[in-house]
Amino acid sequence: MKFGLDDAIASGLTRANLEALVVDTMPGAEPDWPEPIPLDDPAGPDFPLDALPGTLGSFARAVATSTQTPPGMAAVMALGTISAAVRGRYIVAIPEHDWSEPVLIQAVVFALPGERKTAVVKEITAPLSLWEREQQITDATQIQEWTSKGRVLQKQLDAAENTASKGREPGAQGKSPEELDQIRQAATLELAKHDNGIKHPTRIVADDVTPEKAKQMIVEQGGALAIISAEGTFFAILAGRYSESPSLEIMLNGHAGEPITVDRKTGPALYTPRGCLTIAVACQPHVAETMGSVDGFQARGGAARILPAFVASAVGNRSIEAAGISADLRQAWDATIRAILNHNPVRPTDSAGFPTPARLVLDAGAYMAFQRYRAWHEPQLRRGGELGDLVDWGSKLPGAILRKAGLLHIATHDRPEDHPITADTIERAISIGGWFAAHARIMYRVMGGRSGQSAARQVLD
């Protein structure tokens, strides 16, 4: 016997009855909804400050206490400051697997307005700023000497060209035309060599530069630059603020330490075989959402390179009696960063005469600890694994751990290349890596799903 829609209505069933009947009779009637995205502002677990050794850990803790900010903000900015001070001069190498990682990070702290981001960034990076200004004072004299010598060489070249042009007849100026031309060529070569040795004012930190300017500065500064800021302006520029499309290459290539070439309108192109870009930025969470909407940011690996930190808000719970940073501890932090900046490790040159990075290696215990971690890590990338929803980011996590181990090692040794990285350092880096993984999960969620949450919050309210 057939029982159609008309019959159901005639029997007294309402629309609600019919809809319930349909849902109840469908296979798997209970909807399998994904875990809802919280509408509150995102925040991850607290940073494991005990993983930071010596002065690094003590200073990060003191800055967090003094500014009454979450420890993760100071900790991440401190790691970024060490990365900036390293200036691309080291790699962590595992020769057993032909594997090396440049000792640099690209990290972003996400915090709401009013969380004292500027105060933390200024305090943590003060040694970089002071050292940079001191170097620029010395640079000014060297640049003046270079400029003066250039004027002399240019006059010599002008005179040689003038003499050569007037001495085309045999015997003119007491020299043959061939001899005059050789003098002109020698003067040209001398000036070119001088121009190639140009001295630029020392810059290790920038903030809102364009990608093109960042590339130029990396080459001019010997292969490294750091973007450090309490604003997200650099990411807005990468997203295409001044161009018709995103410009991600400097971020992607700078993370790997790849070659950089800068073509100039006049003169030969500028080049470095290894261009390193550190990023240590503190900005508002909406920047993550904006970057998630940038064409190619995730697909090309931009998100996978970022070490994110979504710190909890401290507003409303801050003490007005917080202790300041002791002079001794501030001096110790300054000395730590200066030691890294001033130390020039022995660096063999490549076939073109460019210095190669100094190598940091693992001792036997560190290698075993790292291999144990890798054995655990790989299965976690499978579907359902701990990193199964972060495959692109998670795939780079072992390399990121080596980079962080390098930073911790450099921060605790005057001559880091003379000492192997220990198992203790690797374990500390693994702990920090796990913390970043928890925050990376938040970053991907924010990049992919926060649009419209303000309206949703209003509906719930």
pLDDT in tens, 133-157: 999 898 877 777 667 666 766 766 6
Please state, in angstroms and as integers, the Cα–Cα distance from residue 195 to each residue in 63, 222, 403, following that order. Answer: 44, 16, 36
Q: Which of 157-161, 199-203, 452-456 has the highest mean pLDDT?
A: 199-203
How far is Cα 378 from Cα 97, in angstroms, rounded to an integer? Answer: 16
Please state, in angstroms and as integers, the Cα–Cα distance from residue 21 to each residue in 33, 198, 397, 459, following that order. Answer: 20, 81, 49, 29
Per-residue confidence (pLDDT) for residue 452, from 0 to 100: 44
- pLDDT-based confidence at residue 261 (cuts at 50, 70, 90): very high
Least confident range from 112-116, 298-302, 449-453: namely: 449-453
CATH of domain 53-140+200-315+325-450: 3.40.50
Per-residue confidence (pLDDT) for residue 249, from 0 to 100: 92
Task: Point out which residues pair with 110 in neighbouring strands.
Answer: 283, 310
- pLDDT-based confidence at residue 190 (cuts at 50, 70, 90): low
For 355-379, b/e burial (b = at least 16 CB within 10 A) is bebbebbbeeebbebbeebeeebee
CB count within 10 Å of CB 97 equals 10
H helix runs in 221-307, sequence order: 233-238, 249-256, 286-292, 302-305
- pLDDT-based confidence at residue 199 (cuts at 50, 70, 90): confident
- pLDDT-based confidence at residue 164 (cuts at 50, 70, 90): low
Q: Which of 255-269, 287-301, 334-348 has the highest mean pLDDT?
A: 334-348
The dihedral built from the CA positions of residue 403, 49, 233 and 447, taken in this order, carries a sign that is positive
The answer to whether residues 345 and 89 touch, using CB atoms and an 8 Å cutoff, is yes
Per-residue confidence (pLDDT) for residue 375, from 0 to 100: 97
Q: Is 60 exceeded by the pLDDT of residue 281?
A: yes
Which tokens sit at 375? 């054995």
Per-chain mean pLDDT for the chain:
85
Which tokens sit at 185? 């060529």
- pLDDT-based confidence at residue 20 (cuts at 50, 70, 90): low
Per-residue confidence (pLDDT) for residue 16, from 0 to 100: 59
The mean per-residue pLDDT over the stretch 27-54 comes to 71
Main-chain phi, psi angles of 170, to 5 degrees: -55, 135
- pLDDT-based confidence at residue 29 (cuts at 50, 70, 90): very low
